[in-house]
Amino acid sequence: MRHWRTLVVAAALGIAVIELVVIAVPGREPLDVPAYWRFGYPAMLIASAVLGYASSAKPLHIGFALGLGHGLWFVLRSALAGGISNLWPLGLAMFALLSLPLIAAAWAGTRAKEWAEGS
């Protein structure tokens, strides 16, 4: 894997979004907080586009690393906080679906870079 640093940064950004929402609104599930959907997820979309522009990694890998880091950290937090429910496979599937717009944003960043370079 040639672009592992980009993928580590993407996964770390996904983790950071969950943690920032937890810090901003303690005591609630991060996905239940409107701030996540107003600020957290759009920030991940912007980060995905920026990483797509700044890196030569494939957009699929960038978006999936961001979503995977985000989803796995959420599951790990839930496990440490009191256990995982029986619906955890559904939750991971939801995070996989949430990765699709992140992949599209990374693709848009990659295309913007190509357009700016005149390719």
What percentage of residues in the chain have a pLDDT greater than 70?
97
Residue-range domain boundaries for the chain: 4-117
Whole-number average pLDDT of the chain: 88
Q: What is the pLDDT of residue 26?
A: 85
Q: Could you read off the pLDDT of 41-86 as tens digits, one per residue?
A: 999 999 999 999 998 889 999 999 998 888 888 888 888 877 777 7
Half-sphere exposure of 86 (CA within 13 A, CB side): 0
3-state secondary structure of 22: helix
- Cβ-contact 10, 66 below 8 angstroms: yes
CA distance 108 to 35: 25
What percentage of residues in the chain have a pLDDT greater than 90?
43
38 has pLDDT over 90: yes
Q: What is the pLDDT of residue 119?
A: 61
